[in-house]
Structure 1
Amino acid sequence: MSVKVKDPKNRWRNKTVAFRVSPEEWEQFETAARLSGLSKQEYLISRMYERDIVVQGNPRVYKALRNELAKVLEKLEGMDRMDGMESEVLETINLITLTLQGLKNG
């Protein structure tokens, strides 16, 4: 039997939450969680309580930033004009910018 793990407030986390999202929403969620450096669970809990997400610079965050920037660059290179830029690309650019500013000021 596995060892039960408690959260930082000494509570058992034994309830499961599940819901459906579109592939686009899932990609945005995964990107945001990856760039935050938090687990998906911790990211959702922080957002649920409307807590600020404080990104701590670590190799995992820098790797996520590098990979997301590469994806954005790939999408931008495939576009003829900026008028056709997808809102998801703009949101990703904004999220990357906010993360980098937070790392710079932190």
Structure 2
Amino acid sequence: MPCPNSARERSVTIGFRVTPEQARRIDLMARTSGMTKQDYLYSRALGEEVVVRPDVRAYKMLRDEMGRVYRELRRIRSAKEVDEGLAWTVGFLARKFAAMRGGEEPSDVEREDALIFGISRR
């Protein structure tokens, strides 16, 4: 039998509407944090730090999400255009993987860019 609202510590309900893309982003951020969506939103709304503790479940979720992103990128490779939602997801997941790895090492693309832009004329 549910507890009556007067006996609850959390007796106030706060609700808000988001777009489907915003909902997808919130879901992804909550899943990667290892927190429930409710706890994740509490922490973010109250300005508390969200610390991701890498575990097998978070790794599998990130792996699966990266697989989805990879399939989408292969599908649109010829279109030469990436929608804003996919670009955000790629950046978000890249930062999470870098944080799980520990140090930030430059990617192959960043290394190539540094070589190209570092070339001087004689």
TM-score between both structures, scaled by the size of structure 2 = 0.70
Of structures 1 and 2, the larger Rg is shown by 2
Across the aligned residues of Structure 1 and Structure 2, the Cα RMSD in angstroms comes to 2.4
| 1:66 match | 63
Segment of structure 1 superposing worse, 77-86 or 47-56: 77-86
| 2:50 match | 53
- Residues 60 and 95 from structure 1, CA distance in 2 versus in 1: closer, same or farther, beyond 3 angstroms? same
- Is 1:17 matched up with 2:5? no
In the alignment of these two chains, the number of paired residues is 100
- Is 1:37 matched up with 2:41? no
| 2:85 match | 88
> What is the aligned-residue identity percentage?
31
CA contact (8 A) 1:36 1:99 kept: no
Whole-Å Cα distance in 2 between the matches of residues 56 and 73 of structure 1?
24
Unaligned 5+ runs, structure 2:
104-122
**Counterpart amino acid of 1:17?**
I
TM-score between both structures, scaled by the size of structure 1 = 0.79
After TM superposition, where is structure 1 displaced by more than 6 Å over at least 4 residues in a row?
none
Structure 1 residue 88: deviation in Å?
1.2
Whole-Å Cα distance in 2 between the matches of residues 30 and 50 of structure 1?
18
